[in-house]
Amino acid sequence: MKTLVFLETVDGKLHAGSLGVLSRAAKLGGEVAGVVIGSGVAGLAEGAGAYGAQVVYVADDARLESALPQPRVDVIAGLVTAQGFDNVLFAQSVLASDLAAGLAARLEAGVNWDLAGVEERGGELIGTRAALGDSVYVEVAWKGTPRIGIVRSGTYAAEETGGSARVENAAIELQDFSTAAVLVSQDRAEQSGPSIEEADIIVAGGRGLGAAEHFKLAEELAEVLGGAVASTRAVVDAGWYPYATQVGQTGKTITPKLYIGLGISGAIQHKVGMQGSGTIVSINKDGHAPIFDYSDLGIVGDLHTIVPKLVELLRARG
Amino acid sequence: MRIAVCVKSVPDAGSARRIDGGTKRLDRSADGVLNPYDANAIEEALRIQEATGEGEVVLVSLGPEKALDGIRKGLAMGADRVVLVSDDAAAGSDLVATSYALAKALERENADLVLFGQQASDSDGAVLWAAVADRLRRPLISQVAELTVSGSSVTGKRQTENGYDTIQAPLPAVVAVSDAINEPRYPSLKGIMGAKKKPQDIVSLADIGAEAGRAGEAGSKTTVLTLSPPPPRGDSKKIEDDGTAAEQIVAFLEEKKLL
Ligand SMILES: Cc1cc2nc3c(=O)[nH]c(=O)nc-3n(C[C@H](O)[C@H](O)[C@H](O)COP(=O)(O)OP(=O)(O)OC[C@H]3O[C@@H](n4cnc5c(N)ncnc54)[C@H](O)[C@@H]3O)c2cc1C
Ligand SMILES: Nc1ncnc2c1ncn2[C@@H]1O[C@H](COP(=O)(O)O)[C@@H](O)[C@H]1O
């Protein structure tokens, strides 16, 4: 088997998540290559050898500077066609997901996403994933090659084994439509603010709080419990609360002893960031909200009546 | 300006969702509803239409004929018409096959802007748009939490793992919106009454010039081998608030020695 791993670069470094997938790919056996795409990234390629890549292909070009998926589809499609890779693996990210799906269409190849594992069985690649909001576990496979897989973030740790890689240039032929979308500006969210990663108790607020000013309720509850306040992407995108407090796939991963969710539906992308919490309590007025599937105590009710009372009771306990 | 919105009918969150052990497909026998995340895409399309005071919003979907019952909500919200690709040969389509059939249907519509919702609540893939954009050979902006259309281009602001990116693309383009982009309107009574009379085209693969062998199970490149239940999570309790929820939470936290 010949496997190619997309090595995403962030802030001039190879992303740990993709190095984790590379480490896993190295254990699948066969030939393992990585591909680094960007502008001024050539120097990063060799480093991937230590994580199991025998060859690292580099596409270094000013037109590839922004982290946009479509020109990367052009590069990887060319590489897969020229080199005949059987597997193309990605560590899940906003960029990698769009890239993998675009590649699937370009190469008429199958893509399985949200993989919690990949293994080799009799020359075939087999993936495991949870489906339907993690309510069933599924073993998945591919018909034909290349097989494209997107591995759920945090699945594999990067393991340095100390090899070295041969570096080769990849051909860069970009389609007109691939370079039509351009990055206009970037707003790197400030990393300061309350640290939710160290807190033992987290009160997380979602869109069910109804308005930015109602985060006061979450803050009061967190204060009386001695915890910190976290949030969902929906409220961060709405500008209700800072990005530094976002939990989930594109935010932070937390493992507090206690997580209390207020008005959070519990979408899978939020769940992946908080499922390691010791005890999960949630309040949601919709009895069908997915968060109840993984709460130790689920309260179907209106947070606006329950939380003030809860704060009062906890204060009275002293 | 013509806006096509890709929408899907999904099992109601209230129904017990299951994958059929025989076909290994999602059991779609229960009534479907409009994928809640697609309401944001429809809302955004309607706002653009209202702001420019012209144009058309067409809903494009792939699914069984019954899917119309769920999708009609989009017409009730204000969309102008529906094109539903429905064909026995399209059943069991995975991403590569779905993107093929949808792209064929979209080519016929020739829309200036193709909108997608954030994710289908039954697949949680959040990837389909990228495959469709590649087939249509159009620029793509995904995960868009703020969208502006001006003249011949679109600008979207989106969150990534590293912060926010603002991306601009010329029209025609493909945009997938996040569920934070707007608050979808509720259909009015008048909207609901009027929805039934709006054009609802059910088309076959042949009608849209799609090869049957590239859609459905035949065109799919992924398979499901086995299904198994996840490991049980241990004791969990769910209660309806009867006015004592706060007391019950305190008692629970005490019992767990978390206070
Ligand atoms: C690629 C990608 C990455 C993503 N990354 C993340 C991520 O990192 N983190 C993240 O959180 N999400 C992420 N998401 C988004 C995720 O899918 C959900 O859209 C988001 O988590 C929803 O946030 P929410 O629960 O606050 O809002 P909603 O889903 O709108 O839920 C609000 C809930 O509040 C309840 N409610 C309303 N009023 C009340 C009341 N008065 N009392 C009690 N309950 C009430 C409602 O019943 C509802 O269940 C991502 C999505 C994608 C596609
Ligand atoms: N069968 C379908 N027909 C039309 N649009 C769809 C279909 N499935 C998914 N979509 C669109 O693609 C988005 C993402 O779906 P997914 O990638 O499956 O999570 C949805 O929000 C819809 O806009």
Span B114-153, pLDDT tens digits: 999 999 988 888 999 999 999 999 999 999 999 999 989 9
Span A107-138, pLDDT tens digits: 999 999 999 999 999 999 999 998 877 778 89
- The whole-number pLDDT of residue B150 equals 93
* C-alpha of residue A173 to centroid of ligand 1, in Å: 40
pLDDT above 70 (res A33): yes
B205 in any annotated domain = yes
CA of A107, closest CA in chain B: separation in Å?
9
DSSP A151-176: EPTTSS---------EEEEPP----T
B28 in any annotated domain = yes
> Percent of chain B having pLDDT more than 70?
97
Q: What is the CATH number of domain A201-317?
A: 3.40.50.1220
Q: Is A140 on the interface with B (CB under 8 A)?
A: yes
Tell me, what CATH number does B6's domain have? Answer: 3.40.50.620
Chain B residues whose beta carbon lies within 8 Å of the beta carbon of residue A133:
124
Span A164-188, pLDDT tens digits: 999 999 999 999 999 999 999 999 8
DSSP B15-35: S---B-TTT-SB---SPEEE-
Crossing angle of the two packed helices B67-77 and B36-52, in degrees rounded to 10: 30
Spell B37-58 as b/e; 16+ CB within 10 A means b. Answer: bbbbbbbbbbbbbeeeeebebb
Q: Is B90 helix (H, G, I), strand (E, B) or coil?
A: helix
- The whole-number pLDDT of residue B23 equals 79
- Give the DSSP H/E element, type plus range, for residue B203: strand B200-203
pLDDT above 80 (res A66): yes
Whether the upstream peptide bond of residue A146 has omega within 30° of 0, thus cis, is yes
Those of residues 246-265 in A touching chain B at CB distance below 8 A are 250, 257-258
Question: Cβ–Cβ of B130/A301 closer than 8 Å?
Answer: no
Cα(B19)–Cα(B26) distance, integer angstroms: 4
| Number of domains chain B contains | 1
- The whole-number pLDDT of residue B230 equals 74
Q: What is the pLDDT confidence band of residue B12, given thresholds at 50, 70 and 90?
A: confident
Q: Would you say the pTM of this structure is higher than 0.90? A: yes
B253 in any annotated domain = no
Q: Is A100 on the interface with B (CB under 8 A)?
A: yes
Cα(A50)–Cα(A164) distance, integer angstroms: 6
The CA distances from residue A30 to A54, A63, A301, in Å, are 10, 33, 55
pLDDT above 90 (res A318): no
Chain B residues whose beta carbon lies within 8 Å of the beta carbon of residue A236:
159, 180
Cα(A281)–Cα(B242) distance, integer angstroms: 17
pLDDT above 80 (res B29): no
The residue of chain A with its CA nearest to that of B242 is: A301
Q: Is A240 on the interface with B (CB under 8 A)?
A: no
- The whole-number pLDDT of residue B24 equals 74
> Percent of chain A having pLDDT more than 70?
98
Span B162-204, pLDDT tens digits: 999 999 999 999 999 999 999 999 999 999 999 999 999 999 9
| Alpha carbons within 13 A on the beta-carbon side of B11 | 18
The ligand with the least distance to the CA atom of B95 is 2
- The whole-number pLDDT of residue A193 equals 55
Cα(A77)–Cα(A68) distance, integer angstroms: 15
What residue owns the CA closest to ligand 2's atom 21? B117
Q: What is the mean pLDDT of chain A?
A: 95
Lowest mean pLDDT among A13-27, B155-169, B221-235, B240-254: B221-235
Lowest mean pLDDT among A120-124, A244-248, B17-21, B47-51: B17-21
A2-179 homologous superfamily: HUPs (3.40.50.620)
Domain of B36 in residue numbering reads as: 2-219
Span B191-244, pLDDT tens digits: 999 999 999 999 999 999 999 999 999 999 999 999 887 777 677 899 999 999
Domain ranges across chain A: 2-179, 201-317
A37 token code pair: 């795409």
Q: Choosing among A10, A106, A143, which should be mutated to test the B contact, i.e. which has the most B CBs within 10 A?
A: A143
Q: What is the mean pLDDT of chain B?
A: 94
The residue of chain A with its CA nearest to that of B236 is: A296
ipTM of the shown complex: 0.96
Question: Cβ–Cβ of A296/B143 closer than 8 Å?
Answer: no
pLDDT above 80 (res B27): no
Backbone angles phi and psi of A120, in degrees to 5: -100, 130
> Any idea which residue has 């699937």 for tokens?
A104
pLDDT above 80 (res B80): yes
Question: Cβ–Cβ of A294/B233 closer than 8 Å?
Answer: yes
- The whole-number pLDDT of residue A154 equals 87
Q: Is B243 helix (H, G, I), strand (E, B) or coil?
A: coil
Chain B residues whose beta carbon lies within 8 Å of the beta carbon of residue A100:
127, 130
C-beta A313 within 6 A of ligand 1: no
Chain A residues whose beta carbon lies within 8 Å of the beta carbon of residue B259:
225, 314, 317
Cα(B125)–Cα(B102) distance, integer angstroms: 16
The average pLDDT across B83-91 equals 97
Q: What is the pLDDT confidence band of residue A190, given thresholds at 50, 70 and 90?
A: low
User: Between A and B, how many CB-CB pairs are < 8 A?
Assistant: 271
Among candidates A110, A225, A267 on the partner chain, residue whose Cβ is nearest the Cβ of B94: A110
The average pLDDT across B71-97 equals 97
pLDDT above 80 (res B25): no
Chain B residues whose beta carbon lies within 8 Å of the beta carbon of residue A225:
259
Closest Cα to residue A304, out of A211, A188, A202?
A: A211
| Alpha carbons within 13 A on the beta-carbon side of A6 | 29
pLDDT above 70 (res A192): no
